[in-house]
Homo-oligomer: A and B are copies of this chain.
């Protein structure tokens, strides 16, 4: 859950090298000291957001680009914690919320006769459901909507909504929640 701040230095160095800029030149352009740039690139210091902004501006890259996750993160099924909520719905996290990406994703199992109600998320939150198995109903926009295996739906989650399963077989779905960049 911690930022991989060492990735900042690596991306900086890569970007600077692509442009063929020395630390001195970059320092002049960014308005950040040469010594500090070196410290950041070597992972010896973590910049304030203000300093990183200057660097991003000088190098002409979006600031968030410094923090996009690198490498490979693998999560095995049996290593994922399953959470049963009061409604009987079983929730397994697939991808945790990452501030650089802006979304999180869950696997959800809805046993028979489950009704799970969700308070509205913050304004602008968008939710995506993909039904893998079984059938379920989604309450949205004042009515129930039946979804079957293979169905995919995207809806604004900043309103009350609910999931239920009235069928004999459990329904399995994936739920991706995306948080807004703008207001």
A→B interface (CB under 8 Å): 1-3, 5, 8, 15, 18-19, 31, 46-50, 52-54, 56-57, 60-78, 80, 94-95, 97, 99-105, 107, 122, 124, 126, 128, 130, 132, 140-141, 145, 147-156, 174, 176, 178-183
CB of A3 within 8 A of CB of B53, answer: yes
Per the bound structure, the CA–CA distance linking A107 and B151 in Å amounts to: 11
Per the bound structure, the CA–CA distance linking A60 and B1 in Å amounts to: 12
Number of copies: 2
Q: Would you mind naming 11 contact pairs between A and B with Cβ atoms under 8 Å apart? A: A60-B97, A63-B100, A64-B64, A68-B180, A68-B181, A70-B156, A71-B155, A73-B155, A101-B102, A130-B174, A176-B176
* Chain B residues within an 8 Å CB radius of A74: 62, 145, 147, 151-153, 181
Per the bound structure, the CA–CA distance linking A150 and B68 in Å amounts to: 24
Most buried by B among A64, A105, A126, A155: A64
* Chain B residues within an 8 Å CB radius of A147: 74
* Chain B residues within an 8 Å CB radius of A19: 122
* Chain B residues within an 8 Å CB radius of A178: 101, 103
Per the bound structure, the CA–CA distance linking A66 and B180 in Å amounts to: 10
Most buried by B among A62, A128, A140: A62
* Chain B residues within an 8 Å CB radius of A126: 68-69, 101
Q: Which residue of the partner chain B has the closest CB to A18?
A: B122
CB of A153 within 8 A of CB of B102, answer: no
Q: Which residue of the partner chain B has the closest CB to A71?
A: B156
